[in-house]
Structure 1
Amino acid sequence: MKTETKFLILFLLCLNGLSAQTFIQGYADVANQVTQTNITNNLTQFEALGVKYRGTAALQNTLDWIKNKYISYGYTAGQMVEDSYSYSGSTCKNLILTKIGTLHPNTYVIVCGHYDTVTGTGTNDNGSGTSILLEIARLLRNVPTDYSIKFINFSGEEDGLRGSQHYVASVVNGTTPKMDIKLVFNIDEVGGVAGMVNNTITCDVDQSSPTSNNAASAVVTNELATCVDLYSPLNTFINFADATDYIPFENNGEIITGFYETNISTRPHTANDFLINMDPVYVYNVAKAAVGATMHFAIANTTLGRDDFDADFQVSFFPNPAKDFLSINFGTLTEPSYQFSLIDINGKIVLEKTVQNPKQLENIALASIGKGMYLANLHAGDKNISRKIVIE
């Protein structure tokens, strides 16, 4: 939850002039598959898990619940990574689910929100954001996107953004080369207030130091507000980015935006942060906007049939053309091992490798392979997937 007072932004964004966004029926078709039943069930189940503070069984149980949700949607264990860190004598975990993009697999749209709570069950703060992340992931599981998406469920937000700080320092900056992030879209406390007219969502824009990423944040926040207008019945309000999990990214120079409720509840951080004090229809409407926005940011392809996308289990090989290495995205395959072979134009196998217990992404060194056209073949169980690969 944001703990600082929110102030009206001191400048205006021209919501019609900064981008050429237009309504995409395919995006609306997916956004309209958000269901009130799923949202309400997720909020109810999140509430029943109790107070999710560091060092508690409830925090671990909630992490397991989120993982099981992703699995139930068709994601695999190999697509999920637990990012552990220690704070104040407790081990906490962020959960990262990665969906690899088809054109820009090494550039990521991060959609995130925290799942830890303090004092109460945190059904609004941040069961609301958690329920929406789950619904976005459910609906985009078999929708191809140009850019990769990382769905990140952070812990430690209520301890001072500990989980997101750790992730930026250890993972984003610990990757060689540094992780390429297109933007960070954070969803925190979007439950609304029971009994009020909750028809406006706040879109957060970066206006703090460092200032080098502020203009880009203004552009994507304008795009976020436009998506709200295109794919939900909600109005928008633009406001300053504040103390939640996009801040460590913002401090790292990344481009950030986010959602936050406009009618700000007084229940978070209390024992009364319950579903009964929220507006679940509002969460449903925010979810529709969030689905549309994620598809816009990651550039979803709704013209490719989902059966076609899933025909090869979302397996992909990149880069293509390749040079020093070839990355294999194992997609939704769940076999414990696979055999990879590279075949030249004469039908000769020039490289063969067996990988046990593969991660989602595996790199194959190509230093000994000559330039030319090859057939990359992946064999896993009774499944066989082939692609033409150029090595430069």
Structure 2
Amino acid sequence: MIWWQDDQSLPFPDELLQLADTGERTADGALYLVGQAGDSFLSEFPEARVAVDNGRYLVVSLTNDERAKAEQANSACFGVSPVPENSHVLRTVPAPLQAPTARSTITDLVSESELIASCTVLAGFRTRHSLSSEFTSASDWARTRLQSFGFAVATQTITVGGSPSSNLVADKSGTGANRRLVIATAHLDSINISGGAGAPAPGADDNASGSAGVVEIGRVLGPQSSENDLRLILFGGEEEGLHGSRQYVAALTPADRARLDAVINMDMIGTLNVPAPTVLLEGAPVSQQLMNDLSDAANEYTSLTVQTSLNPFASDHVPFINAGLPALLTIEGSDSNNTSIHTANDTLDKVNGALAAQIVRMNVAVLARRLHLNDVPAAALSAVGSAAADLTGDQSADIVGFGDAGVWVSLNNG
């Protein structure tokens, strides 16, 4: 195993050196990669022999018995797998050397204040546990909002531990003859693990922030005309084991599977865990091009530091990937530093609206490109001072290009 970090003056991790010795820290078993939400794995296995701790990703030494115990835990919050060979577990994407030329884009319509307003509503419910009446109320609120943006909204009944819950599915049809399907998702439910189903679980970051992101995408893209179809999904049952997304993928028709272009999942996009605003793009080889597009969009339209990983776990992108479909998670960087999730302390004051808005802007850029937006009305961009974007005088903003990072329109006649 190779340990690599940008600052080569930093020493090789003591933990790895110790595991190679013959003392009590000797690796009694093989090395395994652990993906964890928060510090869920270390909380359950505090005596684990950790070789590398990168927060969300750990490399640990496990005997066969220890691995079996970890697998039997059947946790929705962590996963254990052999350390992958010849691949990056986590890498930081270098920022571009030159800043892009200023121009007005559809991403400028993303509103931090709208995101915070939606987070405020969702985190205002005592809980959004998948089996609670408050979850239903939160879903009803989201339904009303998405319908107001022009979406046809339906409820998909699911089961969580044998009891009924639901997914909310909102569709906006495109105008093309052979329409592709582009999906944005988040889980609507929250949980208080130690307190149980009846305990307060505001879930402001996990995952009112991601759900607010889906609603904001609906507000920005719903009024626009596009060639391809846009579908927004708010899943239930994520916290208990990805029930909503598993059952949704299982029920996908062969036709929708064949035309599915991309799935962008948002889970915890609102807490600034490190000084530099950072996003992790987590997918698999099937979603490599989508990862590249999002990385380009982040560099083009935001100041986000981008990290990437091809080791997916523990969120609603995983069932799509397991079905061979191109899906990817967008999540705040260093999410394991956020110790408030799954408790009553995951409150609105922990949410950083500026970070959430940047992640949503990145996602909107890629969604817009893959939707193939038709002409964007000039009035829609008036908030960013782009009246000159109407190059042809037909009261619509002319789309000048579909770059790798998204859809953009000219700010001037040059």
Fold shared, TM-score > 0.5 on shorter chain? yes
In structure 2, distance between residues paired with 1:288 and 1:178: 26
Choose from 215, 219, 223 the match for 2:293.
223
Letter in structure 1 aligned against 2:129: Y
In structure 1, distance between residues paired with 2:283 and 2:102: 24
Letter in structure 2 aligned against 1:261: E
Q: Deviations over 1:179-206 (max 9, x none)?
A: 5211111111111137x52411111121
The structure in which a higher percent of residues are strand is: 1
Is the 8 Å Cα contact of residues 43 and 128 (structure 1) preserved in structure 2?
yes
Give the match for residue 158 of structure 1. Answer: 239
Q: Deviations over 1:68-91 (max 9, x none)?
A: 111333x25xx1111102232421
User: How much has 1:266 moved relative to structure 2?
Assistant: 1.2
Choose from 270, 278, 302 the match for 2:343.
270
Is the 8 Å Cα contact of residues 104 and 148 (structure 1) preserved in structure 2?
no
Asked if 1:233 corresponds to 2:283, the answer is: no
- Aligned pair in 2 of structure 1 residues 155, 197: CA closer, same or farther (>3 Å)? same
Of residues 285-294 and 130-139 in structure 1, the stretch that sits farther from structure 2 once superposed is 285-294
Choose from 153, 171, 190 the match for 2:269.
190
Letter in structure 1 aligned against 2:161: S
Give the match for residue 242 of structure 1. Answer: 313
Q: Deviations over 1:93-149 (max 9, x none)?
A: 101111112226542111101000101211100111011111111011122222211
Asked if 1:140 corresponds to 2:221, the answer is: yes
Asked if 1:258 corresponds to 2:329, the answer is: yes
Is the 8 Å Cα contact of residues 93 and 307 (structure 2) preserved in structure 1?
no
User: How much has 1:293 moved relative to structure 2?
Assistant: 2.1
- Aligned pair in 2 of structure 1 residues 134, 13: CA closer, same or farther (>3 Å)? same
Is the 8 Å Cα contact of residues 125 and 273 (structure 1) preserved in structure 2?
yes
User: How much has 1:175 moved relative to structure 2?
Assistant: 4.6
- Aligned pair in 2 of structure 1 residues 190, 65: CA closer, same or farther (>3 Å)? same
- Aligned pair in 2 of structure 1 residues 283, 198: CA closer, same or farther (>3 Å)? farther
Matches within 5 A, 1:1-392: 2=37, 6-7=56-57, 9-10=88-89, 25=103, 28-73=104-149, 75-76=150-151, 79-103=152-176, 106-119=179-192, 120-170=201-251, 172=252, 174-175=253-254, 178=257, 180-193=259-272, 196-206=274-284, 214=285, 216-239=286-309, 240-264=311-335, 265-302=338-375
Is the 8 Å Cα contact of residues 13 and 218 (structure 1) preserved in structure 2?
no
Kindly report structure 1 stretches of 4+ aligned residues shifted beyond 6 Å: 11-17, 304-307
User: How much has 1:258 moved relative to structure 2?
Assistant: 2.2
SS in structure 1 at match of 2:212:
helix
**Number of residue pairs aligned between Structure 1 and Structure 2:** 287
Letter in structure 2 aligned against 1:69: R
Of residues 196-205 and 145-154 in structure 1, the stretch that sits farther from structure 2 once superposed is 196-205
- Aligned pair in 2 of structure 1 residues 23, 58: CA closer, same or farther (>3 Å)? farther
Is the 8 Å Cα contact of residues 121 and 271 (structure 1) preserved in structure 2?
yes
In structure 1, distance between residues paired with 2:249 and 2:108: 33
In structure 2, distance between residues paired with 1:177 and 1:277: 38
In structure 1, distance between residues paired with 2:379 and 2:303: 27
Q: Deviations over 1:206-241 (max 9, x none)?
A: 1xxxxxxx1x41121011111111122212111232
In structure 2, distance between residues paired with 1:245 and 1:56: 20
Is the 8 Å Cα contact of residues 169 and 234 (structure 2) preserved in structure 1?
yes
The unaligned stretches of length 5 or more in structure 2 are 1-35, 42-54, 59-87, 193-200, 381-414
Letter in structure 2 aligned against 1:222: N
User: How much has 1:15 moved relative to structure 2?
Assistant: 7.3
The unaligned stretches of length 5 or more in structure 1 are 207-213, 308-392
Give the match for residue 397 of structure 2. Answer: none
TM-score (structure 2 length as normaliser): 0.63
Letter in structure 2 aligned against 1:263: S
Is the 8 Å Cα contact of residues 143 and 306 (structure 1) preserved in structure 2?
no
Q: Deviations over 1:151-202 (max 9, x none)?
A: 01111100100000110112x1x455755211111111111137x5241111
SS in structure 1 at match of 2:359:
helix
